Each structure stands twice: as C-alpha cells, then as structure tokens.
A and B are shown apart, each in its own frame.
Chain A
Amino acid sequence: MSQRQVLRVFEQYQNARTQFVQMVAELATRPQNIETLQNAGVMSLLRTLLLDVVPTIQQTAALALGRLANYNDDLAEAVVKCDILPQLVYSLAEQNRFYKKAAAFVLRAVGKHSPQLAQAIVDCGALDTLVICLEDFDPGVKEAAAWALRYIARHNAELSQAVVDAGAVPLLVLCIQEPEIALKRIAASAFSDIAKHSPELAQAVVGAGAVAHLAQMILNPDAKLKHQILSALSQVSKHSVDLAEMVVEAEIFPVVLTCLKDKDEYVKKNASTLIREIAKHTPELSQLVVNTGGVAAMIDCIGSCKGNTRLPGIMMLGYVAAHSENLAMAVIISKGVPQLSVCLSEEPEDHIKAAAAWALGQIGRHTPEHARAVAVTNTLPVLLSLYMSTESSEDLQVKSKEAIKNILQKCTYLPALEPFLYGAPPNILKHVVGQFSKVLPHDSKARRLFVTSGGLKKVQEIRAEPGSVLQEYINSINNCYPEEIVRYYSPGYSDTLLQRVDSYQPLNN
C-alpha cells in the first residue's frame, strides 16, 4: 500500500469525526432532538472527542456539550457526572481562544441551573482559570468567562464569596472599562449578581471601585447595558446606608432621572428600583432625592407606564413619605397623590394596588393637612371598597385597612368622612365617628351641616354596646346638640309622638 492510501484512512477518520461533532452540535440546537441524543449516549462520545488531537473537533465538541447542558438540569448534571469539567478546566488554561470560549460556555451552561451544579464547577477549581480568562486579550473570551462567573455567583452568598475570593472583581472592573458593549453588559450584570447577596459582597464590589465606572455609564445609549448598570447599582445600594451613600456620592443623581424617561421598560423599572433603594434608608437620603426633583420625575414615570414597572416607583413614594411629614408634604405638592389614586383604581394586579394603598397610608398619616390632601382625591372610598371586596388578596385587605385607619385618624375633612358613616364596617366606623366627635364640638358650621346632611340621624341609628369606645364617641356627638334634635333624629321618635297624640286629652273649655 502506498503512503497516500495509508494517509487517506486517517483523513477519512478525521473527516468523519469532524462531521459527527458538527452534526451533533447542530442537532443540539433543537430542543426536540435532545432526548434522542441523550438516549444515544452522546455524552460519553463527546467526552472522548473533547480530548481529540484536532483543535476544531475539541472546540465543536465543547460547543455541543454546552448546548446540551444549556438545555436542562438533567443534562447539566450528566455533564458533571461524566467528569467532563476537570478536563475542561485543565484545558481552559492552555488552549486557544476559541476553545476557551467554548469551554466557558459549557461552564456557564452547567452552572446556571442550580447551586449544586455551580458548586460542582467551583469544586473543580474552575474559578481560578475563569479569572485568568478574564485577563485574556480577546474580548469574546473575557465575555464568556464573565458570563460563567456571573452564573456561578448568582445562586447564593457562598458561591458569590468564592467568586470574589478568586479575585474576579478587580478584573471585572477592568472588563467594564473595555469598549465592547456586550462585555460591559455582562460585567455589569455580574456585579449585580455578586452584590445582591450580602452587604459584605456589595462592599467588595464597591471596594474595587466599580461604582464610579458604573455611574459614568448611566448615560450610555444602549438600553440593555443601562438596565444592567442600574440593576447593579441598586443591588449595591440596597444593603446599607453607607453603601447607598457611596452610590449617591458617585453623582448619579440628576443623571439617573433621565432613565425614568427612557423608552425601555426595564430601564425605567431598574432606575425606579435604584432610587427606591437609595431613598428607603434614611430621611436624609430621601431629602436628597426630593431636592433633586426625583419625586416629580418618579411620579411622571409612574404615569407613563403600566404594571410591574410602576411598582418600585410607588414603593419609593411610600418610603419617602414615611420618613417625615415634610417629605410627605413634598410628595403631595409634587402631585403624587392623584397619581397614586389612579394606580389604585386602574391597576389590575393586587400587589401593585397593595403597594399604592400602603403609600397613600404613609402619605396621609402625618397631619390633618396630609390626610385632607389624600381625602380630597376621593381615594378613601376606593380603599374601602378594596378592603371590603372579597376578591382582593389578604395582603391588599390588610394594607388598605391600615391605610384607611392611618388616614382617618388624622382626617378632619368631614365631607370625605361622611360616606363612611353609611357603608363602613364597625371597626372602621369607630374611627370615623371618633373623628366627628372630635371636630363637631368646635365647629358650628360643621354641626349644622352634619344635621342637614343626615349624619346625625345615621349616628343615632348605630347600635353600639354601652360602655364601648364607639358609644362614648356617639355620646360626645350627642352632647353637641340640643336634646330635642337628638331625640328627633332617634329611631322610633315618630312612634312615640303618635303615642302621645293618642294619649292626649283635648282641653274642653
């Protein structure tokens, strides 16, 4: 046999391998093929091909593995069980950039499913090599490594801590300064996933100087990058006052408000979340947000979107109003109350309604002036109907009841209170009558109005147990009026009058 014939055998073998691996990788893109592939024992075959002498075959095998592992949990576990990870990790450090990308893709696909699988990757010592890949020259490799690290870190605090301990954070900070948008995005989301677990991890991110770089890129035109950055900043600032102050010191403030006007829903939502996380900590931070006009921008933002995007904004208004009465007043003069009541009546979802009810309660609970501002927008009947409705969730009922109570206890605006005399359950009626009993002794016009509008009659009809708080309130209302009036409006008075007619003996002169 000639040399050529001998060589041809090898060539054929190599071609067959290449073709097989490519076909498998292509088939793995379709979900319907995956089961068949798995049953055919593709995993062990690919494992041997991962050690092939030809780099292209290795890469394609890794790619196919990644696609399989990406598909579901079981396959990812199969990849772990076949001891493929150590091989990958070993060769990750040595091979060319294409192989690195493919291997990082496999690690990412395995790690994304569950904490156990991510832990398996960490146990293989993949973190160190992935961190080395972050220093690679090729942006694609960096991106793949950052992505894998992100998916490992996002499960829980221990895994995040492992990623931080491997020294990934400073390198991710370098990555975020690269010109490639995709790399920036992944690095920002990696920060977000690392910082979300605990204050210490967030501190690690802040300590590496990530916040300044993130804050600089808020004005980037790319929407996806923007929303990742905002999410990272909000995850950092959610933990403690110090961290929130660090974020504020990066001078995000007037700039982040422009994101509230963005077209993209996620950008809006994450910007609202960021502002909420900052405002919730202390009155001073809330004051800062108010002074930069954040409340007005947020109210506009709430008005311009629907559904879950509104939620952080609504909560932010509640947090700001809860801190002090001046801040609540600032929310009121920024026309926040009408917007919230619109949310309360428009939104179909219960949890958003509950948030709006809570925020309204926080605004109205400070002084009679606040309560009046809430009451004039005709919000109280809506809250009452939500509380009374059987369809609303328990949380919503509790929140709206709290809100009604908070507002009623401060409310002296009687026209808003009066409808409550007619339709409210006893536990709320108590507060309403209590408010009347406090206001009426000092206000003659209101006393007159109370009689003419039929409020007094209604009060007489209330059945209260003697000695209860409600009865005391009713008595103090009755004391504001002459005896005859009270008797006139008491139920059954006409009967007594008629009886007197019956028993009356006409005088005969």
Chain B
Amino acid sequence: MATLARLQARSSTVGRQYYFRNSVVDPFRKKENDAAVKIQSCIYFYPRHLNRIVTIIQKWWRSFLGRKQYQLTVQVAYYTMMMNLYNAMAVRIQRRWRGYRVRKYLFNYYYLKEYLRVVSETNDAIREALEEFAEMKETEEKKANLEREEKKRDYQARKMHYLLSTKQIPGIYNSPFRKEPDPWELQLQKAKPLTHRRPKVKQKDSTSLTDWLACTSTRSFPRSEILPPINRKQCQGPFRDITEVLEQRYKPLEPTLRVAEPIDELKLAREELRREERLRNVNDNMFLPFSSYHKKEKYIPSMHLSSKYGPISYKFRSENPKKWICDKDFQTVLPSFELFSKYGKLYSKAGQIV
C-alpha cells in the first residue's frame, strides 16, 4: 500500500513532469528528425557516391594507362624511325665498302678490260705468228716441189739429149720454119747426155729381210740365188759355143791346196788322235795307284795359303750394303748365266750369298 500511497502521492507530479519533459524535448525533436532524415538519406545515397568516386578513380587510372600506352607508341615510332635512319646509313656505308671491296679485290672492271685487251693482243700476236709459221712451211714445201720438178726436168733433158740439133740437121725442137728455137732446145744444150746404164749387179743378199715387218709386199721374200740361165740362143758372130762359155763362167771354185785345207788342221788331227786312242782303250776306269799311303798323310797347307782370318769369300763384285735401296735382288730379265747361278750352291760353302 505504501507503494500505492507513494504513487498516489506522486501522481500530481507525474502530469507536470510529463509535460515538462515533453516541452524540454520538443525543441530537439525536429533537429533529431532532420538528423534522422539526413542519416537515412546518407545511407540511401552512399552507393551512388561510391560509384561516382570509382568513376573518378577509373578516369584517372585510365588516362594514366592511355598516356603510358601513347608514350610507348611514340617510343616505338621513334625507335623505328631511328632504325630506319640507321639502316639507311648502314646501307650507305655498306654500299661504299662493298663497291670498294669488289673493285679492289674481286672484280676490277678496268683490270678486266686491261686483261681482255692483253688477251686480244696476244691473240693477234699468236695469229700472226702461226700465219708466219704456216707461210714458212708452205714456202719450204713449194721450194722442195720446185726443186723436185727441176730435177725431173733435168733428168728428162739428159734423157732426151739425142734430140739436140746438130750443125747439119736441126732437131725437132729447133724447127727451121720458126724464128727462134723452142726453149727445150736450150735446155737440151745445157744438159749433159745420160751415160749408158750399167747393168745392175744383182745382190745375192738372201737375208735382206729388213722390209719384212710391214709384211705388205709379196716381193719381200728372200729369193734363192740366181741360177745359170739355160736355153740361151747362140749369139750371132764369131763367138765360142755358149755352153763352153757358161761352163767357164759358172765353174765351181777350185781353191788352191793351201786354201782348201782347213786352218785348224792341227786341232782336228789331235782330235782324231784322241778319238782313236779312246777306241783302243780297253778299260774306262781310271788307273789308280795301288797304295793308300798318301791317304794317311796329313795335309799341311802352304804358308801362303794359311791365314788366321780364314778363307776369303770370293765375290764377283764389291758389295756395299749401305747403298742398297731395297733388300731384294734385281729382277733378272735375261736368263741367268748357268754357271754363275750355280755358284756357291754346288762347289763350296764359302761363297754363300749374304
């Protein structure tokens, strides 16, 4: 009850208190409302604000990026431009250098021209020289031909010398109806008449086979010697009988006694003697002495033969092994001499081949 009493006691003040309290709060109420509105509006517009801010940030960022890109492009362009320039310069340098190098080391136009000029000069010279050479050959040949002709003509003139005109009778080249004689006449006058040909002595060379090799001629054989002719007619005139003449001509050689005898008669006689002796021989075995006394005897070499160096091995020629170029013997192309090839193998051990 106390509480109620307390409350009832307070009830008069509550109304006043309520009013008072409201009247105190009233002036703040609008302000708070405004503030609430403000806060609400802030919360409502905050995203938009954020967006705007982001846009601004993006704007700046993008512009930054763009500028960077642009700078890069400019740099590249600049670089390319410079490279082009450098390349152009390099080409200039290369051009000069290459031209210089080729002219200096590889292909010199003037040198080539000079070379070709020299070659053509050489060609002319060679052509001239060869022409001269050919001409020389030709003149030589012509000369030889002329000489041959001349010789032939001379021979002809000598052969026909009998056609020369005499004091009494004009020859055929010296016709009296012409004003002047034929030139051949003068030639005949100069020529010496041909002497009579002597019958050629036929060589009885049966072994002249030198022209065998060609083996073309059927006449290139060794012929048998000429036989005495038979059936020759009796010559007119006071001659001896043909058979008698031929007999004398072809009579066999009758050597004198001295010539007929062989020169080695003494040798032959000895040979004969030896043969007869052998014929008369009864026993072929050699006659040997009876006693064998000499076998016991010791052989004492003579002072000249004895030497402490042993026997000298005989060599056909001095050998100097240092000068040999190979260790084989020379190849023998000719059949070896029989005795020499046996040397040292059959007779003694002394001369062994080293």
Closest residue of A by beta carbon distance from B124: A296
Q: Which of B137, B209, B221, B222 contacts A101 (CB 8 A)?
A: B209
Q: Which of B116, B124, B125 contacts A330 (CB 8 A)?
A: B116
Contact of A144 with B213 at beta-carbon distance under 8 Å, contacts A292-B122, A295-B123, A300-B130 already known: yes
Alpha-carbon gap, A40 to B120, bound state (A): 70
Q: Separation in Å of the A320 CB from the closest CB of chain B?
A: 12
Asked if B33 lies at the interface with its beta carbon under 8 angstroms from chain A, I say no
Asked if A224 lies at the interface with its beta carbon under 8 angstroms from chain B, I say no
Q: Considering residues B124, B131, B215, B334, which has the most beta carbons from chain A within 10 angstroms of its beta carbon?
A: B215
Query: Is the beta-carbon distance between A105 and B215 smaller than 8 angstroms?
Result: yes
Closest residue of B by beta carbon distance from A27: B218
Q: Considering residues B119, B218, B335, which has the most beta carbons from chain A within 10 angstroms of its beta carbon?
A: B119
Residues from chain B with a CB closer than 8 A to the CB of A29 are: 216, 218
Q: Considering residues A60, A132, A293, which has the most beta carbons from chain B within 10 angstroms of its beta carbon?
A: A293
Closest residue of A by beta carbon distance from B216: A29
Contact of A334 with B212 at beta-carbon distance under 8 Å, contacts A98-B207, A261-B130 already known: no
Residues from chain A with a CB closer than 8 A to the CB of B333 are: 128, 131-132, 135, 167
Asked if B126 lies at the interface with its beta carbon under 8 angstroms from chain A, I say yes
Q: Separation in Å of the B326 CB from the closest CB of chain A?
A: 16
Contact of A105 with B213 at beta-carbon distance under 8 Å, contacts A293-B126, A333-B120 already known: yes
Query: Is the beta-carbon distance between B133 and A261 smaller than 8 angstroms?
Result: yes
Query: Is the beta-carbon distance between A293 and B122 smaller than 8 angstroms?
Result: yes
Asked if A56 lies at the interface with its beta carbon under 8 angstroms from chain B, I say yes
Residues from chain B with a CB closer than 8 A to the CB of A274 are: none
Contact of A291 with B209 at beta-carbon distance under 8 Å, contacts A66-B215, A132-B334 already known: no
Q: Separation in Å of the A330 CB from the closest CB of chain B?
A: 5
Asked if A257 lies at the interface with its beta carbon under 8 angstroms from chain B, I say yes
Q: Separation in Å of the B102 CB from the closest CB of chain A?
A: 14
Residues from chain B with a CB closer than 8 A to the CB of A441 are: none
Asked if A326 lies at the interface with its beta carbon under 8 angstroms from chain B, I say yes
Query: Is the beta-carbon distance between A334 and B213 smaller than 8 angstroms?
Result: no
Asked if A283 lies at the interface with its beta carbon under 8 angstroms from chain B, I say no
Asked if B127 lies at the interface with its beta carbon under 8 angstroms from chain A, I say yes
Query: Is the beta-carbon distance between A63 and B215 smaller than 8 angstroms?
Result: yes
Query: Is the beta-carbon distance between B213 and A330 smaller than 8 angstroms?
Result: no
Interface size class on chain B is 20 to 34
- Mark B107-119 against chain A: 1 for CB-CB distance below 8 A, else 0: 0000010011001
Query: Is the beta-carbon distance between B126 and A140 smaller than 8 angstroms?
Result: no
Q: Separation in Å of the B117 CB from the closest CB of chain A?
A: 9
Q: Separation in Å of the A52 CB from the closest CB of chain B?
A: 15
Interface of chain B residues 162 through 193 with chain A (CB within 8 A): none
Query: Is the beta-carbon distance between A300 and B127 smaller than 8 angstroms?
Result: yes
Alpha-carbon gap, A144 to B331, bound state (A): 24
Query: Is the beta-carbon distance between A296 and B126 smaller than 8 angstroms?
Result: yes
Q: Which of B112, B130, B134, B212 contacts A102 (CB 8 A)?
A: B212
Asked if B292 lies at the interface with its beta carbon under 8 angstroms from chain A, I say no
Q: Which of A260, A326, A334 contacts B112 (CB 8 A)?
A: A326
Q: Considering residues A29, A70, A258, A334, which has the most beta carbons from chain B within 10 angstroms of its beta carbon?
A: A334
Asked if A297 lies at the interface with its beta carbon under 8 angstroms from chain B, I say yes
Contact of A334 with B133 at beta-carbon distance under 8 Å, contacts A22-B221, A98-B212, A140-B213 already known: no
Q: Separation in Å of the A434 CB from the closest CB of chain B?
A: 27
Alpha-carbon gap, A98 to B212, bound state (A): 8
Q: Separation in Å of the B139 CB from the closest CB of chain A?
A: 13
Given contacts A293-B123, A300-B130, A334-B120, 16 further A-B contacts (CB under 8 A): A22-B221, A26-B218, A63-B215, A93-B335, A131-B333, A254-B126, A261-B130, A261-B131, A290-B119, A292-B122, A293-B119, A293-B122, A293-B126, A296-B126, A326-B112, A329-B116
> What are 18 of the A-B contact pairs (CB < 8 Å)?
A25-B221, A26-B221, A70-B215, A101-B212, A102-B212, A140-B210, A167-B333, A257-B130, A293-B122, A293-B127, A294-B126, A296-B122, A297-B126, A297-B127, A326-B116, A329-B112, A329-B116, A333-B116
Residue positions of A touching B, CB distance < 8 A: 18, 22, 25-26, 29, 56, 59-60, 63, 66-67, 70, 93, 98, 101-102, 105, 128, 131-132, 135, 140, 143-144, 167, 254, 257-258, 260-261, 263, 290-297, 300, 326, 329-330, 333-334
Across the A-B interface, the 5 shortest Cβ-Cβ residue pairs? A293-B126, A296-B123, A261-B134, A293-B122, A98-B209
